[in-house]
Chain A
Amino acid sequence: MDANASMLRLERLVKRYPTGDLALKGVDLEVPRGQVMALIGPSGAGKSTLIRCVNRLVEPTSGRIYLGGEELTRLGMSGLRRARRRMGMIFQEYALVERLTVMENVLSGRLGYVGFWRSFLRKFPQSDIDEAFRLLERVGLDQMVDKRADALSGGQRQRVGICRALIQNPQLLLVDEPTASLDPKTSRQIMRLICELCAERDLAAVINIHDVMLAQMFAQRIVGLRLGEVVYDGPADGLTAEVLTDIYGEEDWSATIQKDEGAAAEEDAGEPAAAETLRPDERMAGLT
């Protein structure tokens, strides 16, 4: 597979839930290696369904999905498990195993590579543990290794989630609303971290995000989804009022678009510095 080939390709992807809801209506999409793509759209547009179809946490109804050259939609259970190792996933509510420690949560990213008994007895290979320490240091959590996940703040938890995804050594990141539960400052830090790490590792990423400004700020490419169909696919500065109306419906978009122009300069300004250390029970306060 050459370097310019697409990392992820969706062909006529359709998902119909048993209730009859048609969540995806034949989506075609291609993400090249190393590209950070933001998927925006209103609630119920099918963003979460789309990325869950890629690693088949949700089974697609029809259509094909290719990761690298491999067709994911044809894989059996063991083939799917091997393919899932190549896709890291980051979740909206962090989805850490709350009662396990930070280290155990990060190492759980290696479960696809380690046998049952080794993982059960927590006897992970030293190379995995080295990598876990390296990643935790990279995201600034090296002091938190033995803390339980439920003792961390929202931003810290999401960093652990990022480490768990990256220790899989993936080629693709699937990111589902990474900032929806975070305050504005932490949201930006997390998005910046994800984008930096993708650049460092030449990772492709599909990021579901409902914050249009954040998407414009960090993503190289934006795809707009409405009612299970792609209605926009282009660069961040192509998001005009007409395009946003197309994706979300009629609304006054002037503020969103204007703010984007000054966003790079004013980002991080104005938010309280203490936001990063918010306790878990307060973390909804910063909901954007």
Chain B
Amino acid sequence: MPTQAKGGTRVWQRRERGRQLAIWAGWFFGTFIFLYCFKLISDKTIWFFVTDAGRQAADLGVRMVPPNWSYINELWEPLWDTINIATIGTLLAIVIAVPVAFLAARNTTPSVAVVRPIALLIIVASRSINALIWALLLVAIVGPGVFAGILAIALRSIGFVAKLLYEAIEEIDASQVEAVTATGAGRGQTLTYGIVPQILPAFAGITVFRWDINIRESTVVGLVGAGGIGLELNSQIMELSWTSVSVILLAIIATVVVSEWVSAKVRHAII
């Protein structure tokens, strides 16, 4: 109790004395852990390489300029592949994620005891595995190439889209659904008139946002052989042709900037 009687006047403090001491102890312990960990890491670090880092980076930078601009003509196709991996992967994810979201949302699931946990499991499984790891697995299963990339992006995106969408479904205004139900509408009609209009802005926002993320992720999945510009990047690094690497990096940055711009425009238009 922060309020105490002290000789007739009531003194107010933010916290009790014991609680305040516990908080100080917490800070002390946290600082100790931080310093201890720093020492452990420091002992295992070769500080020569770290102090050398600036010179190495400058060296690499020098070798990257001037960019090998003529190389860009070989990049259009892998760049197109990358955009396709992101776009088709996102579409594939949506097709699966939408039903999963309706099965996972507490207010639309046919069974809270059985179906909902299964849907949530699908979401967690998809989300907990990074696109790069999905790609590694899929390259082994379906072979290297764009198809493995699309599947990797799709599998990773299902959980993301389904999770955000089912949260949007759970937050809808129930009275609008009630009103549609009260007219004698069937289940499908209640869904399309009562629920879908309410989640449509969220759905559009989530989709474009995920597509934007997928553009970035699809540049990475190529590193393990799943097609797109990452594949090109990997081979150029292996060949140590740094002037080409810089062109690829600039191309990726340009693509990401454009995709961010597109997604911002689309989201603004819909919401």
Residues of A within 8 A of B (CB): 55, 57, 81-85, 87, 89, 91, 93, 95-100, 104, 108-113, 116, 119-120, 161, 164, 168, 174
**Contact at B179–A111, with CB atoms within 8 Å?**
no
**Contact at B182–A96, with CB atoms within 8 Å?**
no
Cα(A133)–Cα(B193), bound, Å? 20
Partner of A111 from B175, B180, B200 at Cβ < 8 Å: B180
Cα(A191)–Cα(B201), bound, Å? 35
Partner of B189 from A91, A93, A116 at Cβ < 8 Å: A116
- Complex interface bits, B109-146 against A, C-beta within 8 A gives 1, otherwise 0: 00000000000000000000000000000000000000
B interface, how many residues as a size bin? Answer: 20 to 34
**Contact at B193–A112, with CB atoms within 8 Å?**
no
Is B99 part of the contact surface with A, judged by Cβ < 8 Å? no
**Contact at A119–B178, with CB atoms within 8 Å?**
no
**Contact at B181–A97, with CB atoms within 8 Å?**
no
Partner of B193 from A55, A98, A100 at Cβ < 8 Å: A100
**Contact at B198–A108, with CB atoms within 8 Å?**
no
13 new A-B contacts, CB < 8 A, other than A98-B197, A119-B193, are A81-B185, A83-B184, A84-B184, A89-B179, A91-B178, A93-B175, A97-B180, A97-B198, A98-B198, A108-B185, A111-B184, A111-B185, A168-B184
- Complex interface bits, B194-221 against A, C-beta within 8 A gives 1, otherwise 0: 1001101100000000000000000000
Query: Can you list 30 A-B pairs, Cβ within 8 angstroms, ordered by A?
Result: A55-B182, A57-B182, A82-B184, A84-B181, A89-B179, A89-B182, A91-B175, A91-B178, A95-B173, A96-B179, A97-B179, A97-B180, A97-B193, A97-B194, A97-B198, A98-B176, A98-B198, A99-B197, A99-B198, A99-B200, A100-B193, A108-B185, A108-B193, A109-B183, A110-B183, A111-B185, A111-B193, A113-B184, A119-B185, A168-B183
Cα(A109)–Cα(B201), bound, Å? 24
Cα(A272)–Cα(B181), bound, Å? 37
Partner of B175 from A55, A95, A109, A113 at Cβ < 8 Å: A95
Contacts across chains A and B counted by CB atoms under 8 Å? 83
Contacts of B188 in A (CB 8 A): 116, 120
Contacts of A84 in B (CB 8 A): 181-184
Q: From DSSP, what is the main secondary structure of chain B's interface residues?
A: helix
Is B20 part of the contact surface with A, judged by Cβ < 8 Å? no
Cα(A108)–Cα(B192), bound, Å? 11
Contacts of A99 in B (CB 8 A): 197-198, 200-201
Q: A95-B176, A99-B198, A99-B200 are in contact. Are A119 and B183 (CB under 8 A)?
A: no
CB distance from A68 to the nearest CB of B (A): 15
Residues of B within 8 A of A (CB): 173, 175-176, 178-186, 188-189, 192-194, 197-198, 200-201
The chain A residue with its CB closest to the CB of B198 is: A99
Contacts of B201 in A (CB 8 A): 99
Contacts of A93 in B (CB 8 A): 175
**Contact at B184–A85, with CB atoms within 8 Å?**
yes
Q: A116-B189, A119-B192 are in contact. Are A87 and B182 (CB under 8 A)?
A: yes
Cα(A168)–Cα(B183), bound, Å? 7
The chain A residue with its CB closest to the CB of B193 is: A108
**Contact at A97–B197, with CB atoms within 8 Å?**
yes
CB distance from B144 to the nearest CB of A (A): 42
CB distance from A234 to the nearest CB of B (A): 29
CB distance from A152 to the nearest CB of B (A): 15
The chain A residue with its CB closest to the CB of B178 is: A57
Partner of B176 from A96, A116, A168 at Cβ < 8 Å: A96
Partner of B192 from A96, A120, A161 at Cβ < 8 Å: A120
CB distance from B67 to the nearest CB of A (A): 48
Cα(A129)–Cα(B32), bound, Å? 74
Contacts of B198 in A (CB 8 A): 97-99
Of B184, B185, B189, B197, chain A has the most CB atoms within 10 Å of the CB of B184
Cα(A81)–Cα(B185), bound, Å? 7
**Contact at A81–B184, with CB atoms within 8 Å?**
yes
Contacts of A85 in B (CB 8 A): 183-184
Of B183, B185, B188, chain A has the most CB atoms within 10 Å of the CB of B183
Contacts of B178 in A (CB 8 A): 57, 91, 95
Partner of A97 from B176, B182, B184, B186 at Cβ < 8 Å: B176
Cα(A94)–Cα(B215), bound, Å? 43
Cα(A96)–Cα(B188), bound, Å? 18
Cα(A89)–Cα(B176), bound, Å? 12
Partner of A108 from B175, B180, B200 at Cβ < 8 Å: B180
Cα(A89)–Cα(B194), bound, Å? 15
CB distance from A114 to the nearest CB of B (A): 8
Contacts of A120 in B (CB 8 A): 188-189, 192
Of A120, A161, A168, chain B has the most CB atoms within 10 Å of the CB of A120
Contacts of B200 in A (CB 8 A): 99
CB distance from A162 to the nearest CB of B (A): 12
Contacts of A112 in B (CB 8 A): 183-185
Cα(A55)–Cα(B185), bound, Å? 12
Contacts of B179 in A (CB 8 A): 89, 91, 95-97, 108, 161, 164
Cα(A68)–Cα(B173), bound, Å? 32
Contacts of B197 in A (CB 8 A): 97-100
